[in-house]
Amino acid sequence: MIYLAIFVVALVLFFGFLFLNSVEQKKGARILSGMRSALDARVARATGVVAHVDFSAFLWNLSKDVTGRLVHDIAHVSLIAVRSLERLLTRLVRFIRSRVHAPQVVEGKRSAFVETITYFKKTLRRSKETTEPEERVK
């Protein structure tokens, strides 16, 4: 069905072109000559460009440029994401550190073991202080 529609459009355009040419020949003048001259100049320029441009090199260069730009944008977005995550984690660590307090020494009753060790250290220290320097050498 689509082929039939394309065929009908092509026939209408062809017969419209033939009708336009016959009307122009009878009048002896071109219809919309200024616009058609400008269109002819653009078509001639586009035809010259198409004939002389190496499209494979152009497309290769274009694909390299687009790929480079995409890689740059992806790297930039990932860097922004990492920096925002870093800021978030820094705030979290700062918050956690501010909440943790140093352990407090609770004054009160000590265990018997600690009392014994403390007594031993004190007596050891006193015995070292009372001994004479000559006795320490022996």
**Mean pLDDT per 10-residue interval, the chain, length 138 residues:** 96 95 90 90 94 92 97 98 98 88 71 88 81 57
Reading the block at residue 20, the tokens are 């336009």
**pTM here?**
0.43
Amino acid at 128: K
pLDDT, position 61: 96
Instruction: Quote the CA–CA distance of 76 and 84 in Å, as a whole number.
Output: 12
- Whether the CB-CB separation of 23 and 31 falls below 8 Å is answered with yes
Q: What is the pLDDT of residue 107?
A: 72
Provide the residue ranges of all domains of the chain, joining segments of one domain with +.
Answer: 1-53, 54-97
In our burial notation (b when 16+ CB lie closer than 10 A, e otherwise), range 40-55 reads: eeeeeeeeeeeeeeee
pLDDT for res 130: 75
Query: What pLDDT was estimated at residue 133?
Result: 59
Q: What share of the chain is helix, strand, coil (3-state, %, to 5)?
A: 85, 0, 15
For position 125, what pLDDT does the model report? Answer: 80
Residue 126 sits at the vertex; the CA angle it makes with 122 and 132, to the nearest 5 degrees, is 155
HSE value, Cβ hemisphere, 13 Å, CA-based, for 133 = 0
How long, in residues, is the chain? 138
CA angle 9, 14, 16 (to 5 degrees): 95
pLDDT at res. 72: 98
Q: What is the pLDDT of residue 30?
A: 85
- Residue matched to tokens 């979290």: 92
pLDDT at 122: 87
Return the number of other C-beta atoms located less than 10 Å from residue 24's C-beta: 13
